[in-house]
Amino acid sequence: MIDEFYMRLALGEAWKYQLLTYPNPAVGAALLDRYGRLIAVAAHEKAGEPHAEINAFCDAFCAICPDEAKIARLRELNASEDIHNFLRKYHDGLFSGCALFVTLEPCASGGKTPACAPLIADLGVRRVVIGCDDPNPKMSGGGEYLRDRGVAVTRGVCEKECAVLLEPFKRWLRRPFILFKWAQRLNGAIDDGKISCDLALDETHRLRSVCDLLVVGGATVRADRPILDARRVNARAPDVQIVSSQSDFDKTIPLFGVPNRSVSIAPKLEVDSGFIFVEGGLGLLNYLADRIDWLLCYESLALSGGSRSIGFDRRLELLHSGYIGDNIKIWSSIAR
């Protein structure tokens, strides 16, 4: 199979964790052994946890290492640094001659986790295929580092698709990234009861737990009396801004009672950085129309129930779609 095939496997895996890796970029990886046999497809899942390349090495190690005791030891490790050190010490030539496909240039310098490029070279990987160069000057240079260490490096495979995957990251390096999320039925209806499936709700709570600010409209707060926390994934509740021209709210509405979270009320959204997660209705969508970067829709298959649908007079571009549970998950951007 051609390089693009494996890069698309890596891309597909990365999209499953899009934005959940904030403030890191979503990155996917695929690993072939010295015979060209696919031994792992993995992604970076969460900031602070191992990068995509390392998750691919771990998955492959567990699949091909003949020593069960070593696999058990690796599985017990949580810290990225410990996993790096383990792989460097115990790889035993398992990855010698491998080809690694990664949507983003492997990092040359360590951040929260140790740098990937030196480990990749130390493991004896023969070839690294890169989708996009790292736009972050602090982290870039991984490709050159690997080439200097004698690794064959191919750049720009599925470059456009890998660049789309990276867009949120590139934006929040410079300015706020605003995601508008909603759930609807296939008939378009957004009202009338629970719409998302349980896995989609879990993912929504995960997005809340990583964002810098959750934005909701005043009408939604008054009508739905939400909690807007991240209890489904046992994570911290996000700070909330209610966009409303009226600042008087019934403070018994559950979102006000969540500990360790700030709630602000203001008629305008004023943010200058970070990942801004908007769980809005129609009013908020149209108010933020010129500032929204991406939209995320969870769609259930119901063709009945509800009466109101999202009205938005802009052209959307499909970025990616997939499933989560019984819902279809659609990423789009506003054509500009």
d(CA 227, CA 255): 4
Scan residues 123-152 and list those touching a copy of itself (CB under 8 A): none
Number of residues counted as binding a copy of itself (CB under 8 A): 41
Q: Does 1 bind a copy of itself (CB under 8 A)?
A: yes
Note whether 286 binds a copy of itself by CB under 8 A: no
Q: In this structure, what are the phi and psi dihedrals at residue 41, rounded to the nearest 5 degrees?
A: -130, 120
Stretches 90-98, 122-130, 131-139, 295-303: which one binds a copy of itself (CB under 8 A)? 295-303
List binders of a copy of itself among 166-195 (CB under 8 A).
184-189
- Under rule CB under 8 A, residue 165 binds a copy of itself: no
Confirm or reject binding of residue 29 to a copy of itself (CB under 8 A).
no
Q: Of 90, 256, 287, 312, which one interacts with a copy of itself (CB under 8 A)?
A: 312
- C-beta closer to a copy of itself: residue 76 or 313: 313
Other Cβ atoms closer than 10 A to 191: 14
265 binds a copy of itself (CB under 8 A): no
CB nearer to a copy of itself: give 10 or 230: 10
The reply to whether 317 sits near a copy of itself by the rule CB under 8 A is: yes
**What are the DSSP calls for 229-265, one per residue?**
--GGGT-PPPPEEEE-S-----TTSGGGG-TT--EEE
Q: Does 302 bind a copy of itself (CB under 8 A)?
A: yes
Q: Which stretch binds a copy of itself (CB under 8 A): 68-76, 119-127, 252-260, 316-324?
A: 316-324
Q: Print burial letters for 127-155: b (CB count within 10 Å at least 16), e (below 16).
A: bbbbbbbbbbeebbbbbebbeeeebebee
* Residue (36 or 48) nearer to a copy of itself, CB: 36
State the angle between helix axes of 68-76 and 52-64 in degrees (0 to 180), rounded to the nearest 10. Answer: 150
SS3 286: helix
Two tokens, residue 231: 């209890």
Nearer to a copy of itself, 125 or 255 (CB): 125
Token pair listed for 111:
């951040």
Stretch of 37-45, 82-90, 106-114, 213-221 contacting a copy of itself, by CB under 8 A: 37-45
Identify whether the C-beta of residue 50 lies closer than 8 Å to the C-beta of residue 29.
no
Interface stretch with a copy of itself, choices 139-147, 152-160, 268-276, 324-332 (CB under 8 A): 324-332
**Of 252 and 304, CB closest to a copy of itself:** 304
Cα–Cα nearest to 56, from 29, 77, 26, 76: 29
Per-residue contact track with a copy of itself, 56 to 75, x per CB under 8 A? Answer: -------x------------
Select from 245, 239, 255 the least CA-distant residue to 283: 245
DSSP secondary-structure letter at 25?
A: P
Q: How far apart are CA 243 and CA 214, in angstroms?
A: 11
Residue 36 engages a copy of itself in binding (rule: CB under 8 A): yes
In angstroms, rounded to a whole number, what is the distance separating the alpha carbons of residues 105 and 145? Answer: 11
Question: Which position among 62, 199, 269, 310 is part of the footprint of a copy of itself (CB under 8 A)?
Answer: 310
Nearest distance from residue 298's CB to a copy of itself, in Å?
Answer: 12
What's the closest the beta carbon of residue 267 comes to a copy of itself, in angstroms? 25
Q: List, as one string, the DSSP characters of 185-222.
A: ETTSB--SS--S-HHHHHHHHHHHHH-SEEEEEHHHHH
Q: Does 301 bind a copy of itself (CB under 8 A)?
A: yes
- Pairwise CA distance, residues 236 & 137, whole Å: 31
Pairing of strands 316-324, 327-334: antiparallel
Nearer to a copy of itself, 220 or 300 (CB): 300
Binding site for a copy of itself (CB under 8 A): 1, 5, 32, 35-41, 63, 184-189, 297, 299, 301-304, 309-318, 321-323, 326-328, 330, 332
